[in-house]
Amino acid sequence: MGKVIYLDNSATTMVLPEVAEAVRETMTVTYGNPSSLHGMGVAAERILRRAREEVADLLGAQPGEIYFTSGGTEANNWALRGLAHALKRRGRHIITTAIEHASVLEACRLLEREGFSVTYLPVDSQGIVRLEALEQALREDTILVSVMSVNNELGSLQPLEEIASLIAARSPALFHVDHIQGYGKIPLPIKKLNLAAVSLSAHKIHGPKGVGALYLRQGIRIEPLLVGGDQERGLRAGTENVPGIAGFGVAAALARKALPGSTEKMHRLKIRLAEGLLEGIPGAHLNGPEPQTGAPHILNISFPEVKAEVLVHMLEERGIYVSTGSACHSRRQEVSHVLKALGIPLKYMEGAIRISLSQLNTEEEIDEAVRSIKECVEELRRL
């Protein structure tokens, strides 16, 4: 592969060398089963304990509140279904937003089929949940509110403090946050927000794929999603993915060390990128929040008269990797449910690309990407 400019970090990130080394070591040296009584098992158990501390530290939680999962999708499924089932005697109403990740939305659809009712809150033109809609939706029998901290397609930040206050004032509902795009990038005051559950994923912070975690506040009751073993305090059965978890721990420790410089750097690069594209390409249209606000690493921008898929492939030929909408949907060639929820015209939806940064990107890469995107858009418009 020639020179690569990787700008699809909301889809996944490169594993850092220290993370890869930790994974390799737990596969080839400390490869015991944490449930085994002998020394190899004890060594593996120690690796799990250390990783749990690192993952908890980056969130500001206690290690005993972290449960490892197979990734963000499982954490979201478990939070929604596990909490709904544990609380169903108190009520059957759940609130979420129209722009959540599919792993929250599809879990809600499953719950609807089981007799729960779900309110999907609308968002404004910047992709921010409408608080007046939440105020109206909250009821005595609302058991759970699930809202993401950072939208993965737009980078919009949700007003979690206001949401937490409304919940506290109007209902006994628990509050779950999908923090998969925000973890290690923006602070989440779990205590102040009185969060019951938070979903995390390793591969968005330079950790391995297929490993994540659910934070559950001490004392919160949840139904297990997987049964058949005592792992994760009996709530998530199955031999632990020790290599993945070890890598997750190292990635979390490195992310914590890199703060706040990493966030400031991404934010600066995002503004440079946004200014370059908006000023340099006629008709370029920003979807979601203004570059100064929003998450430090995600920019969603449309170029009318250009099909996003064609642009993505043209850029790929130049070694530049971006995505159309969210990577999870982009193979299905459907219009993104997030862009639909913004209510933007079709011409902007079809030409929308998502550019997402990591702390490893450089100013030179951003300038090269701006130049290339401008040239490709001009060429496509000429055709």
Ligand X SMILES: Cc1ncc(COP(=O)(O)O)c(C=O)c1O
Interacting residues with ligand X (CB under 6 A) = 71-73, 76, 101, 103, 148, 152, 178, 180-181, 201, 203, 212, 328
Structure tokens of 140? 């005595």
Place of tokens 């015991």: 32
Smallest separation, CB 11 to ligand X (Å)? 6
The single residue of 186, 328, 360, 380 carrying the catalytic annotation is 328
Pick 73 or 171: Cβ nearer ligand X: 73
Strand-strand pairing, 5-6 and 320-321: parallel
Nearby residues of 175 by Cβ (< 8 Å), 6 or more positions away: 144, 145, 146, 147, 163, 164, 167, 193, 194, 195, 196, 197
3-state secondary structure of 293: coil
Minimum distance from residue 203 beta carbon to ligand X (Å): 6
Structure tokens at 170: 């109007």
Torsion sign over Cα 327, 329, 332, 335: negative
Task: Give one word for 116, left, alpha or beta, with left for phi > 0 and alpha for psi -120 to 50.
Answer: beta
User: Which residues are paired to 305 by β-bridges?
Assistant: none
CB 287 within 8 A of CB 331: no
Q: How far apart are CA 155 and CA 56, in angstroms?
A: 24
Widest CA span of the chain, in angstroms?
69
Side chain identity at 7, as an amino acid letter? L
Residue type, 45: E
State in angstroms the smallest separation of the CB of 97 from ligand X. Answer: 11
The span from the CA of 366 to the CA of 11, in Å, is: 18
Report the residue number, 93 or 354, with the smaller CB distance to ligand X: 354
Min dist CB 241 to ligand X, Å, is 12
Nearest residue relative to ligand X (C-beta)? 72
Question: Any residues with CB less than 8 A from the CB of 49 and at least 6 apart, and which?
Answer: 63
* Residue 327 CB, nearest approach to ligand X (Å): 7
- Between 203 and 236, whose beta carbon lies closer to ligand X? 203
Nearest to 352 by CA among 375, 373, 378: 373
C-alpha atoms less than 13 angstroms from C-alpha of 169 in its C-beta half-sphere = 10
Separation of alpha carbons 236 and 68, rounded Å: 8
Q: CA-CA distance, 171 to 296, in Å (whole number)?
A: 33
Nearer to ligand X, 171 or 201 (CB): 201
CB-wise, 92 or 101, nearer to ligand X? 101
Q: Closest separation between CB of residue 383 and ligand X, Å?
A: 32
Q: Which is nearer to ligand X, 96 or 171 (CB)?
A: 96
Helix axis angle for 39-59 and 242-258, nearest 10°, is 40
- Residue 328 annotated among the catalytic residues of the structure: yes
Q: Which is nearer to ligand X, 212 or 289 (CB)?
A: 212
CB of 126 to ligand X, least distance (A): 17
Give the catalytic positions in this structure: 328
